Every structure is written in C-alpha cells, then in structure tokens.
C-alpha cells in the first residue's frame, strides 16, 4: 500500500476508518479524459495507459496531440529498452490512447484530469465548457501546481466531486502524486483518487488546499532563492547548480530544474504564493521576471538559465 498518510489538520478521511473504500470506488474509473497534451498532459496519458485505463487526450492543437503521441511512443520505447515494459505492454498502452480536438468528446469519461496552461481563467473556461456534457458521476480533477482547488471547484456543478491531482515532472519517472481536497470534496471522491494513484503504481501524499500545496510551497521558494543568489552575484549559474547538486545530492541544480519545469510556471507559482499568503518572503526575483519577459522560459524555448541550442547546455550567466 503506497500511501503516505501525512497528519492532516482536518481528519475527514479518518471519519470513515482505514482505507476500506478506495479500491472498491476506484474500480468505477475505466476511462480517463485528459485536457492538455503538453509536458504534463502527455506524461499523465502515458502512465494511465500503461496502468490499463482507456485515455482520451484533448488539446486545441492537432500538432500538439501528434507531438504528444510521438513523445509517449518514444518514452514507452525507452521503458522497453530498460526492460521496465515488454513490447506487447508498450503496444497495448499506445492502443489505449485516443486523441480529440473537441473538448466535449470527453463527456462520457469517468474521470477528467485538466492539465492545461497554469492560468486560472483558462482552467475555469475549460471546466465551464465541459460541465454540461459530463455524466453525473464523473470526477473532475486538476493537475494545477498551485491554484486553489476550492475556487476551481466552485466554478463547476460538482464541487464535491472535484480534486487536485498533482503529478510531478517527468510523470513516468516521478513517484509522487499530491492529492488535494477542496473544502467541499467528499470522501468517496478522495478514496477513488487514492485507488487510482495506487493502480498507477505511484504514491499519494495528501495536502490541504493552501497556495502551492506542499511540493511547490517548499520547492519554488528554493528555486526563487537560487535566482536571487544569481541576481546578487553570490554565484554564477554553474556554481549555484554544482553547489546544490554536489552539496545536497539533488539530482538537478535549482536553476537547471527551473529550466526543466519552465520559468513561466515557476514565476506563476511564486505569484500565487505571494498573492495568496501576502508575505514578502515569496516575492519573485526580478531576474526571474526578466527571463520570462524575454521569452527565455527554459528547455521548452531552448533558452533559460542555460542555452540549449548547441550540443551541450551553456550557462547564460
């Protein structure tokens, strides 16, 4: 049983006793609709398909859908080469993934995972468009890394069936899924999501619905502080990343990791923390803002704290 039962301020799950229901409830989920075929959406589609779910992947761009399926195929191949999957499992997983540019095609699915751009207006518009087409029992979830689940849920017809379902990047590799209940989320929905995480072979950690939840509440101020360290000239890109990799055994330095996540996403999360907690310790570093304004968003634009346009990444400072 891979579930980190973190102490929670509100023991709602405890009221129903030990995890008696999660397996049973999660059997109701067979088909999953994923909104957004970007970095997170394609990874989420990958792990659901490998776990045996039928996946319907939606995006507004056919090119993004085609690129996502190609990337999933490549990442599945990598798992076959490393003997984590058989060739037959790869082929079956790929066959479970369908794509559509029509959002409302996701209506008949049992669970929706929204993994669109990290902007509240975009996410809210998606839920508003989807809701009239959903089955009454469909669970709605968002892969948001920081936006209030309670607020997103309140814009739907089913706040009790709404959860935060937050994957880490790269999704096929990272073990954690953060589960975030909104104020109205019912226990059946939570138990179902726990069962789904279990079936994915991942580990759930519960977080209460406060800005940026657990992982990003801790990770983003560290990344922001690394950018301040660069901004103030305490170190350069290489020395900061080497110091943290070799000095604290992090697999990536904080600036390399920021490029990997996307500097626009890092800035958006810092803004959510700053606005939501109203504490100056969360103010985004002006240098982070400058990189984002330049369009230097990290790996996805081939330039961020490193320049990825050549053979090997070159620090930009």
Burial 250-266 (b: 16+ CB within 10 A, else e): eeebbbbbbbbbbbbbb
Among 39, 58, 109, 145, which residue interacts with ligand CAA (rule: CB under 6 A)? 145
Q: Pairing state of beta strands 54-58 and 97-100?
A: parallel
Stretch that binds ligand CAA, among 75-83, 123-131, 238-246, 295-303 (CB under 6 A): 75-83
Stretch that binds ligand CAA, among 148-156, 200-208, 214-222, 291-299 (CB under 6 A): 214-222
Measured between alpha carbons, how far is 294 from 276 in angstroms, rounded to an integer? 26
Q: Which residues contact 91 (CB under 8 A, 6 or more apart)?
A: none
Q: Which helix (H) or strand (E) holds 56?
A: strand 54-58
Q: Does 119 bind ligand CAA (CB under 6 A)?
A: no
**Alpha carbon 237 to its chain's center:** 26
Q: And the tokens for 44?
A: 């989420």
**Alpha carbon 106 to its chain's center:** 19
| Residue with Cβ nearer ligand CAA (100 or 203) | 203
Give me the 14-43 binding string for ligand CAA, x by CB under 6 A, dash otherwise. ------------------------------
Smallest distance from the beta carbon of 212 to ligand CAA, in angstroms?
A: 8
Could you give the 3-state DSSP secondary structure of residue 289? helix
Q: Does 75 bind ligand CAA (CB under 6 A)?
A: yes
Binding-site size, ligand CAA (CB under 6 A):
19
| Residue with Cβ nearer ligand CAA (79 or 138) | 79
Q: Are 115 and 38 in contact (CB under 8 A)?
A: yes
Q: Does 72 bind ligand CAA (CB under 6 A)?
A: no
Q: Does 215 bind ligand CAA (CB under 6 A)?
A: yes
Measured between alpha carbons, how far is 151 from 84 in angstroms, rounded to an integer? 39
| Residue with Cβ nearer ligand CAA (59 or 259) | 259
Catalytic residues: 145, 166, 178, 216
Binding residues for ligand CAA restricted to 249-278, rule: CB under 6 A: 251-252, 257, 261, 265
Among 107, 170, 221, 276, which residue interacts with ligand CAA (rule: CB under 6 A)? 170
Measured between alpha carbons, how far is 203 from 295 in angstroms, rounded to an integer? 35
Q: What length is written for the chain?
A: 317
Paired strand residues for 177: 167, 204
| Residue with Cβ nearer ligand CAA (17 or 249) | 249
Q: Could you list the residues that contact ligand CAA (CB under 6 A)?
A: 75, 78-79, 82, 145, 168-170, 172-174, 215-216, 219, 251-252, 257, 261, 265
């Amino acid at each position: 049983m891979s579930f980190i039962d973190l102490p929670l301020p509100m023991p709602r799950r405890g009221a129903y006793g030990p995890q008696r229901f999660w397996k049973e409830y999660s059997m109701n989920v067979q088909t999953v609709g994923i909104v957004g075929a970007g970095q997170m959406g394609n990874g989420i589609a990958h792990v659901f398909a490998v776990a045996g779910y039928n996946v319907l992947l939606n995006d507004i761009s056919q090119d993004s859908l085609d690129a996502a399926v190609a990337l999933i195929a490549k990442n599945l191949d990598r798992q076959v080469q490393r003997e984590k999957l058989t060739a037959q499992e790869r082929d079956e997983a790929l066959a479970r993934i369908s794509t559509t540019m029509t959002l409302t095609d996701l209506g008949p699915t049992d669970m929706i995972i929204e993994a669109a751009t990290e902007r509240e207006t975009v996410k809210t518009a998606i839920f508003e468009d989807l809701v009239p087409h959903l089955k009454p029992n469909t669970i709605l979830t968002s892969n948001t890394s920081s936006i209030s689940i309670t607020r997103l849920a309140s814009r739907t017809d089913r706040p009790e069936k709404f959860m935060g379902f937050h994957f880490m990047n790269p999704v096929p590799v990272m073990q954690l899924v953060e589960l975030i209940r909104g104020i109205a989320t019912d226990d059946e929905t939570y138990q179902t999501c726990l069962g789904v995480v279990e079936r994915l072979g991942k580990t759930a950690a519960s977080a209460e619905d406060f800005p940026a939840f657990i992982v990003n509440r801790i990770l983003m101020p560290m990344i922001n502080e690394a950018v301040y360290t660069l901004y103030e000239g305490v170190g350069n890109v290489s020395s900061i990343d080497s110091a943290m990799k070799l000095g604290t055994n992090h697999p990536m330095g904080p600036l390399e990791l920021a490029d990997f996540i996307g500097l626009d996403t890092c800035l958006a999360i810092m803004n959510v923390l700053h606005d939501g907690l109203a504490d100056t310790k969360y103010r985004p570093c002006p240098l982070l803002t400058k990189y984002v304004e330049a369009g230097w968003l990290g790996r996805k634009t081939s330039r961020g704290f490193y320049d990825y346009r050549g053979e090997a990444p070159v620090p930009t400072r």
